[in-house]
Chain A
Amino acid sequence: MKALAILLGVLLLAGLIVGSKAASVNNQLVSQREAVQAAWAQVDVALQRRADLIPNLVETVKGFAAQERAVFEEVARARAALLNARTPGEKIAANQGLDTAIGRLLMVVENYPQLRSNENFLRLQDELAGSENRIAVERRKYNEAVQRYNTTLGLFPNNLFAGVLGFQRIDDYFRTDPGARTAPPVKF
């Protein structure tokens, strides 16, 4: 009888310890997952900002180089793909397509010297470069948040609780292309 009481007491104590640890792991993971979502929202704003800028940019370039129709169509398609993308993974992929299309547009611009000295175009180019830099900064912050979350998730003993509590690894990292970072496509 006495042994049973001790056993019950020990089990209760163990349950309390495990339960409180699970609660603290849960809280930590919830707040870090929130941080990932907040960081993603900032990335999304930056992506949207660039997409919004593109019609204006294309119109200005068209004024000087109306015959470059293929490039304009490619940019429009890539922009539509980004606007239709829903999940972070899809958006990351669509954004790379838009990077390529804008790169081609800016190469075309090189052939039109009057365009490159147009103050309106210069400002649009600043806005575009600024948007690209914002995307770079926000995706770095997002990657850091994801990394923090995944690390917390993988640490012992958190990994024992995480599955039961329904937390999963996030694998939507931005793969940074080192070439693109060290030489931003828009320079003056």
Chain B
Amino acid sequence: MPPAAGALLLCLALSAAAADFGALKPRGYVNDFAGVLRPEAADELNEACARVEKATGVQMALVILPSLEGEPIEDVANLLFRKWGVGQKQNNEGLLLLVSVRDRRTRLEVGYGLEAVIPDGYAGWILREMRPSLRAGDYRGALLAAVESLGARIAEAKGVRIPAAAGSRRPAPPPEAVIPWWLAAAGGLGLLLFISALARAQRAARGRRYYGDMPAAVWLPMFWHDAGFPTRSSGGFGGFDSGDSFGGFGGGDSGGGGASSDW
């Protein structure tokens, strides 16, 4: 096997290993897949992120995973960042803060557009500052402090002010409210993805004859790659923006900037 083909197969193997995390869908600014945040804490963090976005245009995704399942945290963070498209497409001003509970690892992934405002050394400092709270099991406190420090630094760089949290907590929406907007959005997105996957599969099936004279070991992975999941298209489901709540991520990209730490 020529080395180039070996490299190609290796790439495919790596992308397959990370596929599980690629299936995760964003739930809002706060994505607690480990279930360690109380609902009030999640609301509070959501509101803090919404205030940052409203004032500065910067989107933050907070992700808590139960485990990395042996994957490097850098790969998982970059995968989620690019799949979800954190930040607006035109300026890539997004941040993704990933906490893995069982591995006791943290990562702050910085979008292309914020690399000058949040250098890696500062990202590492933010993560080191989170250590005491995380060691005490205070995920809310750790994340809130990180969001506030990051928001303040971005606001300063952009010359804007982030309004303080509303003193009187707004009453939570009644629990018997209709289908939550994000569920409707996720449903719509799922339908869209299903249709586009169908179209892709059809296109790939038409394309298959082009692989005709190659051995199966060569065209099979190529075909599989061609028919694979959309790599960037799942970012950005807009249109549900209601005031200061989560309006969907905007298709931003990241080149792996940021820092990783542990606690």
The reply to whether A138 and B256 contact each other, CB–CB distance below 8 Å, is: yes
The reply to whether B11 and A140 contact each other, CB–CB distance below 8 Å, is: yes
Q: For the complex, is B14 an interface residue (Cβ under 8 Å from A)?
A: yes
Q: Which of A23-31, A94-102, A180-188 contacts B (4 or more CB under 8 A)?
A: A180-188
The reply to whether A127 and B255 contact each other, CB–CB distance below 8 Å, is: no
CB<8 Å pairs between A and B, sample of 10:
A42-B255, A46-B255, A123-B120, A126-B124, A126-B125, A133-B258, A156-B212, A176-B10, A176-B14, A187-B262
Q: For the complex, is A12 an interface residue (Cβ under 8 Å from B)?
A: no
The minimal Cβ–Cβ distance linking B9 to chain A, given in whole angstroms, is 11
Q: For the complex, is B56 an interface residue (Cβ under 8 Å from A)?
A: no
Contacts of A124 in B (CB 8 A): 121
Separation of A140 and B125 alpha carbons in the complex (Å):
27
A110-123 near B? 1/0 per residue, CB < 8 Å:
00000000000011
The reply to whether B255 and A143 contact each other, CB–CB distance below 8 Å, is: no
Q: Which of A70-78, A79-87, A167-175 contacts B (4 or more CB under 8 A)?
A: A167-175
Residue of B nearest to A143 (CB): B11
The reply to whether B256 and A133 contact each other, CB–CB distance below 8 Å, is: yes
The reply to whether A181 and B72 contact each other, CB–CB distance below 8 Å, is: yes
Q: For the complex, is B3 an interface residue (Cβ under 8 Å from A)?
A: yes
- Chain A interface size range: 35 or more
Contacts of B166 in A (CB 8 A): none
Q: For the complex, is B260 an interface residue (Cβ under 8 Å from A)?
A: yes
Separation of A53 and B255 alpha carbons in the complex (Å):
17
Q: For the complex, is B49 an interface residue (Cβ under 8 Å from A)?
A: no
The reply to whether A136 and B74 contact each other, CB–CB distance below 8 Å, is: yes
Q: A136-B256, A173-B3 are in contact. List 15 more A-B contacts (CB 8 A).
A: A130-B256, A133-B256, A133-B260, A137-B78, A137-B254, A137-B255, A150-B4, A171-B4, A173-B8, A175-B6, A175-B7, A181-B75, A182-B70, A182-B72, A184-B74
The reply to whether B11 and A126 contact each other, CB–CB distance below 8 Å, is: no
Separation of A129 and B259 alpha carbons in the complex (Å):
7
The reply to whether A174 and B121 contact each other, CB–CB distance below 8 Å, is: no
Separation of A136 and B256 alpha carbons in the complex (Å):
8
Task: Point out residues on B near A: beta carbons under 8 Å.
Answer: 3-4, 6-8, 10-11, 14, 70, 72, 74-75, 78, 119-125, 128, 210, 212-213, 222, 254-262
Separation of A42 and B213 alpha carbons in the complex (Å):
35
Does more than half of chain B's interface fall in helix, strand or loop, or is it mixed?
helix
Separation of A32 and B191 alpha carbons in the complex (Å):
30
Contacts of B120 in A (CB 8 A): 123, 126-127, 129-131
A137-166 near B? 1/0 per residue, CB < 8 Å:
110100110010011000110000000000
Contacts of B259 in A (CB 8 A): 126, 129-130
Contacts of A63 in B (CB 8 A): none
The minimal Cβ–Cβ distance linking A100 to chain B, given in whole angstroms, is 20
Separation of A176 and B256 alpha carbons in the complex (Å):
16
Separation of A127 and B118 alpha carbons in the complex (Å):
11
Separation of A178 and B8 alpha carbons in the complex (Å):
13
The minimal Cβ–Cβ distance linking B113 to chain A, given in whole angstroms, is 14
The minimal Cβ–Cβ distance linking A53 to chain B, given in whole angstroms, is 10
The reply to whether B74 and A133 contact each other, CB–CB distance below 8 Å, is: yes
Contacts of A140 in B (CB 8 A): 11
The reply to whether A151 and B222 contact each other, CB–CB distance below 8 Å, is: yes
Contacts of B11 in A (CB 8 A): 140, 143-144, 147, 176
Contacts of B256 in A (CB 8 A): 46, 130, 133-138
The reply to whether A130 and B257 contact each other, CB–CB distance below 8 Å, is: yes
The reply to whether A126 and B10 contact each other, CB–CB distance below 8 Å, is: no
Contacts of B75 in A (CB 8 A): 181
Residue of B nearest to A150 (CB): B4
The reply to whether B255 and A126 contact each other, CB–CB distance below 8 Å, is: no
The reply to whether A173 and B210 contact each other, CB–CB distance below 8 Å, is: no
Contacts of B255 in A (CB 8 A): 42, 46, 134, 137-138
Separation of A137 and B78 alpha carbons in the complex (Å):
8
The reply to whether A127 and B7 contact each other, CB–CB distance below 8 Å, is: no
The minimal Cβ–Cβ distance linking A50 to chain B, given in whole angstroms, is 11
The minimal Cβ–Cβ distance linking B156 to chain A, given in whole angstroms, is 19
A29-54 near B? 1/0 per residue, CB < 8 Å:
00000000000001000100000000
The minimal Cβ–Cβ distance linking A29 to chain B, given in whole angstroms, is 15
The reply to whether A127 and B72 contact each other, CB–CB distance below 8 Å, is: no
